[in-house]
Amino acid sequence: MSTESIFQTHLALGYVAWLLCFGAYILPWLKSMDRVKAHRAIVTLHSFRFFGLVFILPGVVGPNLPASFATFAAYGDLASGLLAMLALVTISMRPVFWLFVVAFNLVGMADLVLDYYHAIQAGLPARAEELGAAYAIPIIYVPLLMITHVFAFYLLLRPQPKATQALAGEAAVS
């Protein structure tokens, strides 16, 4: 099997495994929470995206990892992680919290989509060994990030029940 085939198989199976796990365990757990707590759980996971800086760390990744992929991925992840942390810090200031939740999801999802684009343009699947120790990030971590972004957008765009809106309004006034 070629490097590209192994990488693509790993990536596809990473999505399959996380979708199965998400559907069986994470989705029921998130659905059992109110909107704020569900988003808080998602941003907590994403607050570790600062780890993406590893893509520009010599000795961890190969010297021939395409810079067009590595630099954008590293700083896009950092920006996403920092926005997630800001959402966590502002949880008690609901309007600011929601602003950071929306910003983090927009930046985070755009980062992942553009990372896929840059990886394909740079021929990364055929040179996946250049990811070095960071190989696990796109295979294990990124599928979960993408799935949780999709669910976060679903939560953000889903109409809020009127009873919940009334309670949220009362909580904001208190």
Write the DSSP assignment of 79-135 as a string of letters: HHHHHHHHHHHTTTSHHHHHHHHHHHHHHHHHHHHHHHHHHHHTTGGGGGGGGGGGG
Nearest to 76 by CA among 100, 101, 45, 109: 109
Q: Classify 63 as helix, strand or coil.
A: coil
The Cα 146–Cα 153 span in angstroms is 11
pLDDT for the residue 125: 96
Which residue ranges make up each domain of the chain? Answer: 3-20+35-58+70-157
Predicted confidence (pLDDT) per residue in 71-126, tens digit: 999 999 999 999 999 999 999 999 999 999 999 999 999 999 999 999 999 999 99
Task: Please determine, for residue 12, whether its predicted confidence score (pLDDT) is greater than 60.
Answer: yes
The Cα 137–Cα 121 span in angstroms is 19
pLDDT for the residue 169: 56
Predicted confidence (pLDDT) per residue in 31-75, tens digit: 999 999 999 999 999 999 999 999 999 999 999 999 999 999 999
Average pLDDT over residues 120-139: 96
pLDDT for the residue 159: 85
